[in-house]
Amino acid sequence: MEHCNNPVHCEVFYNPDRDRLASVWQQLEEQTQPNIFLSWLWIGSWLDCCVDDCILIEASIGSEVVGLGILVGKKSKLPFDSRKAYYLHRTGDQGLDQLWIEYNDFLLLPQYEGKTRTAMLSTVMLSVIGNGTFVVGASEKGVFDGALSLGAERRCVWDSIAYKLDFTQLRDNNCSLDQSLSRSGRYQIRRSLRKYESKGEITISTATTTEEALKVFALAEPFHIKRWGNQLGQSGFSNPKFKHFHHTLIKRGVESGEVVLHYIRAGDEPLGVIYNFHYGNQVYFYLSALNYELEDKHMKPGLTAHYLLIERALADGMLSYDFMGGTTRYKKTFANCESSLAIYHYQFPQLVLKIEATLRGLKQRFTTGNRPSPL
């Protein structure tokens, strides 16, 4: 593949053939090292459950596909406003986007990543977006800032810190999980373990079949709703679109080992459910549904469950345990790496946008800003 000096050619396909899209995406995925959210497991399930119309941006060098990205357009809700927002691997629908993609990006062949991203961004901004908005995220900071060199302006609408425990650092330093923790962290975990062990043996039941996984997912629902609420924008379990997507994902991903649901108990007392992804020899923590009904404040279900699952992942030879975005305290306890995640809007400057920005600034003086809905 002597493509170093060859140009990247981008094509735009409106409502592409889904069978062909599945084929080219999976072929490119095999050659890349994407995260779980750019796997066909996630993208294909999202398309089937959430998307009617979409736009495919396909980049190639010669006859080789080197980049792919899928946009969904959404019209402005304002009357007499013909502008659209175009979402990368999202829809703009609050109920559908509660699925919450992270590390969002184009799917790119690593050796041509830089010039392919530049070409795809140029195509998106100049051939698709026009006077609309390109919405990306939750993505790592700066990934799409090439749009700024095209004259676009950027607005951040949500941001967070992503936390990860890189096992390579532990192994390189011949360090156990306990040794990597602070004295306070070790003390809290040991105390919590003793409290739970007084209820009975702590067991982790990991679903290995679709039927088992759907049952564990159902067990998570009451815990999650009790914690986050049953109204729109609260627990994802109160959202039929969210549940439909995850039923599909579970049916497609459990028996391959990519979708992993754990039910943790101390004796007969449930600690709760941890919903993870295993992809590329990494663990991605997606969702927890925990039992906070026990009155003892020293019983910490999240801290305890993740401690046990991290120990298991280390023993299984995984490369990392990625807590992803959000500032839950136990993430900071375990993590040895941090990165920034954000949702950005990219737009070309227009007078109407300047007016909107001014009005938005006035509104934000009286609000606390945008945060994602809990899963």
The whole-number pLDDT of residue 328 equals 87
pLDDT tens profile 323-364 = 999 988 899 999 999 999 999 999 999 754 555 555 555 544
Are residues 186 and 40 part of one domain?
no
Are residues 195 and 72 part of one domain?
no
Measured CA to CA, the distance from residue 119 to residue 124 in angstroms comes to 9
Which residues constitute the domain of residue 108? Answer: 9-151
pLDDT tens profile 167-199 = 999 999 999 999 999 999 999 999 999 999 999
In a domain, 343, yes or no: no
Instruction: Please report which confidence band the pLDDT of residue 50 belongs to, taking 50, 70 and 90 as the band edges.
Output: very high
Are residues 169 and 143 part of one domain?
no
Measured CA to CA, the distance from residue 50 to residue 166 in angstroms comes to 33
pLDDT tens profile 226-237 = 999 999 889 999
Number of compact structural domains in the chain: 2
Are residues 33 and 69 part of one domain?
yes
In a domain, 52, yes or no: yes
The whole-number pLDDT of residue 105 equals 99
In a domain, 374, yes or no: no
**Domain endpoint, select from 151, 175, 193:** 151
In a domain, 213, yes or no: yes
- Partnered with residue 265 across adjacent β-strands are 203, 270
The whole-number pLDDT of residue 373 equals 44
Q: Which of 185 and 33 is assigned the larger pLDDT?
A: 185
Are residues 197 and 143 part of one domain?
no
Q: What is the DSSP code string of 63-86?
A: TEEEEEEEEEEEE-SSTT---EEE
Average pLDDT of every residue of the chain: 93
Are residues 184 and 233 part of one domain?
yes
In a domain, 349, yes or no: no
pLDDT tens profile 84-130 = 999 999 999 999 999 999 999 999 999 999 999 999 999 999 999 99
pLDDT tens profile 141-173 = 999 999 999 999 999 999 999 999 999 999 999
| Percent of the residues in the chain that have a pLDDT greater than 90, as a whole number | 87
In a domain, 362, yes or no: no
In a domain, 350, yes or no: no
The whole-number pLDDT of residue 1 equals 47
**Domain endpoint, select from 120, 151, 182:** 151
Average pLDDT over residues 298-309: 98
Q: What is the DSSP letter of 192?
A: H
The whole-number pLDDT of residue 374 equals 54
- Nearest 5°: the CA angle 47, 52, 56 is 65
Are residues 182 and 314 part of one domain?
yes
Are residues 79 and 204 part of one domain?
no
CATH number at residue 243: 3.40.630.30
In a domain, 1, yes or no: no
Q: What are phi and psi of 265, to 5 degrees?
A: -135, 155
Are residues 195 and 55 part of one domain?
no
Are residues 195 and 130 part of one domain?
no
pLDDT above 90 (res 367): no
List the structure tokens of 180: 């990597």
Q: Which of 4 and 43 is assigned the larger pLDDT?
A: 43
Are residues 140 and 178 part of one domain?
no
Contacts of 365 (CB under 8 A, 6+ apart): none
Are residues 176 and 106 part of one domain?
no
Contacts of 13 (CB under 8 A, 6+ apart): 55, 56, 58
Name the residue among 100, 82, 303, 290 with its Cα closest to residue 192. Answer: 303
The whole-number pLDDT of residue 223 equals 98
Average pLDDT over residues 78-83: 79
The whole-number pLDDT of residue 181 equals 98
**Domain endpoint, select from 151, 176, 211:** 151
